[in-house]
């Protein structure tokens, strides 16, 4: 069939090398099998993709039943996403076990649950430090007793986290990496392992927040990016290992949101502390002008991309907990969906060129 071969070669732009893009291969296959032109192939692929999105939308709206019997354990409920999720679950009548780092967090969450929802009875808030084996172990014992009536634990939500210092690696030491990893990486691992037995009883779910920084390592966010890459990898591993036990694992990849995690005053204080304790050699390499300009660019970046719609993340959490067909990964926020996720699929060399081009408009070290 020479005509088909010629047409297929044209559709695929065949040379002595294999085509680089799977999309072109797909168009060629469609042409060869269905005798479609390239334009027709593109049209039908777009239609198929739209039908997929519509079908997924309706399938994902299906919710599990008996929410009042589905116990949920959430870490980091003092503020932000964890607090919002705890209140949303309570609104839907779900039993909520909320781990808080401070007594103030417990009191304010309990008061808001009673006042705004009128459902303080389904809330059990307690002190918890995800960096402590002893604290997590005590919580696991507490849950083991209280979850008997629910047939185990329906979901653990690993929400507790910090960003660490927003500054270049030269201004950090190993302790900063250890501090951030102890909360963002070892915390979820420690917590998940402690309640795994209860999850197996209920054939439950592990829901963990990662970040777009688990896809793209951003300059100035070294400890945070390292910890989020790690926790994402952990979830990918246990997703396969726990499937035979009926446990599903879900990861959230939000962009930047205006929560206490990126409080501008906190970030500025941490940057100032890093500069203060940096070796004199590093200060001379970078210069005070670089330091001041870097502070300003950090605030400009956060003010440009950070969203105030934290309900988007809370809703994604809730969907992962209650949907009959939850996603394995959730991308949340315009910056995550339109900027960082597409960027993460580019070849590393092209990413480097883009970072280099962006660097032309960023502060430069004095000794560059």
Helix 174-184 and helix 186-202, axial crossing angle in degrees, nearest 10: 10
Structure token pair of residue 35: 């005798």
Q: Are 114 and 137 in contact (CB under 8 A)?
A: no
Q: Are 203 and 244 in contact (CB under 8 A)?
A: no
Catalytic: which of 31, 224, 229, 317?
Answer: 224
Q: Within its chain, how far is the Cα of 220 from the centroid?
A: 18
- Candidates 24, 48, 18; CA nearest to 38 is 24
Q: Are 99 and 75 in contact (CB under 8 A)?
A: yes
Which secondary structure element, helix H or strand E, spans residue 114, and what is its range?
none
> Which residue in this structure is represented by tokens 């027709």?
40
Residue 356 CB contacts under 8 Å (≥ 6 apart), including other chains: none
**Does the annotation count 224 as an active-site position?**
yes
The whole-angstrom separation of Cα 228 and Cα 57 is: 28
Q: What residues act catalytically?
A: 224
């Amino acid at each position: 069939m020479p005509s088909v071969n010629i047409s297929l070669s044209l559709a695929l732009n065949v040379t002595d090398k294999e085509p680089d893009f799977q999309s072109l291969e797909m168009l060629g296959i469609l042409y060869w099998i269905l005798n479609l032109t390239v334009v027709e192939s593109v049209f039908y692929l777009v239609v198929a993709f739209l039908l997929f999105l519509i079908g997924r939308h309706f399938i994902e709206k299906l919710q599990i039943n008996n929410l009042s019997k589905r116990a949920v354990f959430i870490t980091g409920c003092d503020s932000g996403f964890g607090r919002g999720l705890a209140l949303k679950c309570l609104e839907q009548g779900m039993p909520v076990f909320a781990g808080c780092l401070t007594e103030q967090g417990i009191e304010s969450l309990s008061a808001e649950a009673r006042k705004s929802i009128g459902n303080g009875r389904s809330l059990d808030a307690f002190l918890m430090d995800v960096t402590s084996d002893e604290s997590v172990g005590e919580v696991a014992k507490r849950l083991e007793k209280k979850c008997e009536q629910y047939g185990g634990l329906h979901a653990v939500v690993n929400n507790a986290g910090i960003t660490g210092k927003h500054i270049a690696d030269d201004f950090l030491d190993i302790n900063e990496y250890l501090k951030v990893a102890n909360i963002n990486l070892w915390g979820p691992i420690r917590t998940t392992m402690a309640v795994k037995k209860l999850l197996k009883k209920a054939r439950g779910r592990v829901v963990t927040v990662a970040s777009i920084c688990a896809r793209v390592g951003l300059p100035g966010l070294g400890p945070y990016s390292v910890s989020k890459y790690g926790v994402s990898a952990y979830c990918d591993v246990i997703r396969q290992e726990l499937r035979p036990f009926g446990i599903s694992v879900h990861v959230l990849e939000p962009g930047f949101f205006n929560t206490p995690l990126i409080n501008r005053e906190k970030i500025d204080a941490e940057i100032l502390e890093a500069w203060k304790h940096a070796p004199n050699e590093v200060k001379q390499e970078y210069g005070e002008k670089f330091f001041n300009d870097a502070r300003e660019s950090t605030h400009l970046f956060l003010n440009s991309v950070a969203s105030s719609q934290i309900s988007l993340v809370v809703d994604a959490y809730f969907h992962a907990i209650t949907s009959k067909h939850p996603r394995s990964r959730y991308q949340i926020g315009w910056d995550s969906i339109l900027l960082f996720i597409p960027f993460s699929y580019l070849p590393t060399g092209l990413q480097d060129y883009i970072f280099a081009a962006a660097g032309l408009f960023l502060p430069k070290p004095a000794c560059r």
